[in-house]
Every structure is written in structure tokens, then in C-alpha cells.
Amino acid sequence: MRHAHRRYLSQSSEGWNCETQRQGGVRPSQMRSSLIFFLLLSATLLSRQLIIATTTSLYETGLLDLLKAHFEKRYPIHVVFAPVGSGMALTMGKRGDADLLLVHSPSDEEQFMKDGFGLKRVSFMYNDFVVVGPKEWQEREFADALSFMRHIYENRLPFVSRSDNSGTHRKEQELWKSIGVVPEGKWYHMAGTGMAQTLLIANELRAFCLTDRASFEMLKNRLNMKICCEDAELLRNVYSAILVNPKNGKRVNHEDAKKFFEFLFEDSTLKLIENYSVNGVKLFRVFR
């Protein structure tokens, strides 16, 4: 994103120079163009840019746009979200391509901090993962999520995996590992896409899928699917904020990242999060 701004300014600067070097009078249209460019240039230089790498599942809920609006009212900082899987978000942090991370892959986050790529990591909210499947599936009683995943594996029921190194994908891998199996075969479909697209694929294939509850609530009116398995303890989905170490790259905007980090944990912001709902359903709970 930062490079894109540089290219835009460079191209605009060339156009500006051509106009001002002309001899003779200047047409009104040229004057307006020059004035517009000057105002755009001034706005770009006066505002700061904060890049936050986050998960596609969180971004697609719309919550971050709400937080961005409240934050930008207070500070002259332009917030840019990079919605990717947690794995890619952490990679962006390592490279110094993001200033702050909002992710949900605890084991990877712990390693990120242990390796010195992050300065501070705090969990701020949570919901849960659920396994969804075709509405016509006849419900059965299972002791827990692991029993249900074993049932899927043993019966080779169609299953769609995100397969994108996201936090959701990592949780799915943990579940398969916990029951001692490696999912493979025609029944196991690897989407390699974000949560919304993965759900749409599962819907088309009449397959099962692990998803965060918020993403399912956002899309359920477009899906012929239902929640087939819940496990509040095993399938808890925790989101954490991580301040990227400025040593990761010269472009890291550490000062503004700290401002958003502190804003995130203010009582007023936490209230915004816990009251955020879709179709009358609150999507997240917060840690206080």
C-alpha cells in the first residue's frame, strides 16, 4: 500500500511539472487540476498511514470498519487493513510490512513473540469455531468436537478445508492431529481461500466445514447449511493484537500502532465490540 502511494505521487508530480513549465496563459481547467493535485498532495503528506494485517474472517464481519471510523475521528491517521489469513499476517509482521496484527492462531503467535518479531501481544476478544454442514444432515449425539471429526473421517463425509495457513485452518489441523489422522482422499477438498468463499464452496458441495461462528452468521441466509457441532471449550476462537517490533523493518509505524493498540483496549471500544451484532446476533465477547 505504501508503494502504491509513492507511485501515485510520482506520477502526479510529473504531470504537475509539465503544466507549470508551459509558457503563456494557463487555462481554468489546468488551474483546477493543479489545485486539486495540490490539495491531494497536502492531505497525503499531512495524514499518516497505519497498516493492520488481520484475518479475512474478522475483516468480513464489518467490525473493523466500525473501529476504524471511531479511531480516525480522533487521530489524523489513515488506517489500512490487509485482510489475509493469520499465517500471512504474521509473515507480514516479520517482514515489517504491517504495523499491527489482529490474528487468531495462538501457537503461531506465541512463536512469533518468542522469536522477537513482536513487542506486545494481548488477547482482546473471542467467539468460537463451529462445524457446519448440509441442513438435511440428520443430527446425532457426539461427546465433543473430536468425536464429530472422527465420525467425518471414518465415514469419509465430504469436508472442505480452507487450506490457507489461516487461524481457522490451523485449528482444523489441530483437530485432525488430536484424533491421530491425516485427512486425504476424494472426500477432502482443499479450497485455499478465505472463510466466506470456503463456506460457499462447502454449500455447493453439500459438505462439512470448520468456520468461525461470526462468518457463518454473516452468510447463513445465503447457505443451505446449519451448525452441526459446537464445543465451547475445545473450539474457542481467541483474537489477539500484536505490536510489531519496529526492528522488523524501517517502514514499521510503531508510534501510530501503539495508539491503535491502546484504543483497542479502552472501555468504550470494548463496548463497541461486544455490542456489535449481525441479524440480531452478537458476534464477539471481550476480555476485561
pLDDT at 136 over 60: yes
| pLDDT (average), residues 143-170 | 95
The position carrying cell 462447502 is 202
pLDDT tens by residue, 72-115: 999 999 999 999 989 999 999 999 999 999 999 999 999 999 99
* CA-based nearest residue to 56, from 214, 180, 272, 177: 214
pLDDT at 147 over 90: yes
The position carrying cell 489469513 is 85
Rounded to 5°, the CA angle 233-166-272 comes to 65
pLDDT at 226 over 80: yes
pLDDT at residue 20, rounded to an integer: 32
Q: Which stretch of 136-150, 172-186, 237-251 has the lowest confidence by average pLDDT?
A: 136-150
Are 244 and 119 contacting, i.e. CB atoms less than 8 angstroms apart?
Answer: yes
Q: Which stretch of 33-37, 177-181, 221-225 has the lowest confidence by average pLDDT?
A: 33-37
Q: Same fold for the domain at 49-126+237-286 and the one at 127-230?
A: yes
The residue ranges of every structural domain in the chain are 1-20+29-39, 49-126+237-286, 127-230
pLDDT at residue 225, rounded to an integer: 98
Q: Within 10 Å of residue 271's Cβ, how many Cβ atoms?
A: 11
Q: Sign of torsion, CA 147 153 154 155?
A: positive
Q: Which residue has the higher pLDDT, 166 or 23?
A: 166
pLDDT at 9 over 80: no
Q: Which residue has the higher pLDDT, 137 or 45?
A: 137
Q: How many residues does the chain have?
A: 288
270: which 3 cell numbers? 470494548
The model carries a pTM of 0.78
pLDDT at 171 over 70: yes
Rounded to 5°, the CA angle 169-56-97 comes to 100
Are 259 and 75 contacting, i.e. CB atoms less than 8 angstroms apart?
Answer: yes
pLDDT at 10 over 50: no
Q: What is the mean pLDDT of the chain?
A: 86
pLDDT at 210 over 60: yes
Helix (H/G/I), strand (E/B), else coil: 186: coil
pLDDT tens by residue, 230-279: 997 899 999 999 999 999 999 999 999 999 999 999 999 999 999 999 88
pLDDT at residue 85, rounded to an integer: 87
pLDDT at residue 140, rounded to an integer: 80
pLDDT at residue 114, rounded to an integer: 98
The domain covering 127-230 belongs, at the CATH homologous superfamily level, to Periplasmic binding protein-like II (3.40.190.10)
pLDDT at 19 over 90: no
What is the third-level CATH fold of 49-126+237-286? D-Maltodextrin-Binding Protein; domain 2 (3.40.190)
pLDDT at residue 141, rounded to an integer: 81
